[in-house]
Amino acid sequence: MHQNQIASITGIGSYLPSKKLTNHDLEKIVDTTDDWILQRTGIRERRIVENGVATSDLAAHASLKAIENAGISAEEIDMIITSTITPDYLFPSTSCCLQKQIGATRASAFDISAACSGFVYALSIGQSFVNSGAAKTVLVVGSECLSKIVDYTDRTTCVLFGDGAGAVVVQNNPEKHQILDTRLVSDGSHSDVLIIHGGGSKHPASPDSIQQRLHYIQFRGKEVFKLAINNITNLVIETAQKNGFDVQDIDLIIPHQSNLRIIEATMEKLNLPMEKAFVNINKYGNTSSASVPIAIDEAQQEGRLKKGDLVMLVAFGGGLTWGSSVIKW
């Protein structure tokens, strides 16, 4: 057993497809308005992949940037963990497709499924492997092509989601951005509030499942909305308590970008100013498990993360699942 390993983020990268789908574009597709979408969600536009582009393609772009940022080669990677709800295939894993694209020939590779919280879940696994000494270099990825599972005839969901990818390299390096703690929570009793019913073993793909549109995201927005605010707020408070600091000590919260109103309500409940939350939902919409790593990368590029800052990642999504991660920048 290795002692005193300190899992840290040593490289960060993200990738967004260039094609934009604006609220005004959506006005032409479904019965909605720019004003409704902006007021209710904070979203102005989202990015959408071209035909033929898959989740592993976005993941590869983001990963290569993270690898370069960490100053390593792909051959040094011991493990690839990708979080996605839009895998290239049901199997093999998107991580194996990604491994092939980036030439990480030594790595073991697998995916995890925890919907919008998935990046925090994957980071926790990477952190554990590095802290135990079982792996030296782990690539943790959140990548999604949500445009492929969104019903563009359903205005209640199609305005919310976009495509993108983010990746980090996790290694033992106390000089870098130390992952101090990660907390994961799940509540399967609400598994049906945010779901794709079709295409799995319960309702395998069939002409009937397609006709019933079971292969698209369905969710009960209002229920998810309330559960998200309460559970994220409680988790931030618990995480602070367990790690011996005050919520007010947090320098930046990097939340999953699902709805600006959820972020605002959570910050208000935590009695924190909005300046302490990183927000980019206006540009990308909800990119599920890609949203947190994309936000980390942008926060770093915008100079919002300074050495020694106390940073909290927090995410909430289908499952239900939620999770937090404390990072000393």
Binding to ligand UT7 by residue 280, rule CB under 6 A? no
For the chain, the straight-line distance linking the first and the last C-alpha, in angstroms and rounded, comes to 27
Task: Answer yes or no: 158 catalytic.
Answer: no
Distance (Å, rounded) from C-alpha 182 to C-alpha 281?
A: 24
> CB of residue 271 vs ligand UT7: minimum separation in angstroms?
21
Task: Answer yes or no: 243 catalytic.
Answer: no
Site pattern 284..323 for ligand UT7 (x: CB under 6 A):
--x-----------------------------xx------
In the region spanning residues 68 to 87, those forming contacts with ligand UT7, defined by CB under 6 A, are none
Angle at 42 between CA 291 and CA 166, to 5 degrees: 10
Among candidate residues 97, 231, 256, 259, the one labeled active-site is: 256
Contact between 83 and 121 (Cβ < 8 Å)? yes
Locate tokens 């959506």: which residue? 26
Task: Answer yes or no: 145 catalytic.
Answer: no
Question: Nearer to ligand UT7 by C-beta: 97 or 194?
Answer: 194
| Alpha helices, H only, the chain | 23-27, 34-41, 55-70, 94-102, 118-132, 155-158, 207-211, 221-242, 260-269, 281-284, 291-301
Question: Nearer to ligand UT7 by C-beta: 147 or 172?
Answer: 147
Distance (Å, rounded) from C-alpha 306 to C-alpha 300?
A: 8
One residue of 41, 56, 171, 239 binding ligand UT7 per CB under 6 A: 41
Amino acid symbol at 329: W
Size of the site for ligand UT7 (CB under 6 A): 19
> CB of residue 317 vs ligand UT7: minimum separation in angstroms?
4
One residue of 6, 20, 27, 32 binding ligand UT7 per CB under 6 A: 32
One residue of 74, 116, 120, 135 binding ligand UT7 per CB under 6 A: 116
Nearest to 285 by CA among 294, 274, 276, 273: 294
Site pattern 216..255 for ligand UT7 (x: CB under 6 A):
-----xx-xx--x---------------------------
Among candidate residues 23, 259, 280, 286, the one labeled active-site is: 286
Site pattern 135..174 for ligand UT7 (x: CB under 6 A):
--------------------xx--x---------------
Locate tokens 């290795």: which residue? 2
* The token pair that represents 281 in the structure block: 């939902």
Instruction: Output the residue with the shortest Cβ distance to ligand UT7.
Output: 221
Distance (Å, rounded) from C-alpha 116 to C-alpha 83?
A: 9
Distance (Å, rounded) from C-alpha 296 to C-alpha 252?
A: 10
> CB of residue 87 vs ligand UT7: minimum separation in angstroms?
18
179, burial (CB in 10 Å: exposed 0-12, middle 13-18, buried 19+): buried
Binding region for ligand UT7 (CB under 6 A): 32, 36, 40-41, 116, 155-156, 159, 221-222, 224-225, 228, 258-259, 262, 286, 316-317
Mind telling me the catalytic residues? 116, 256, 286
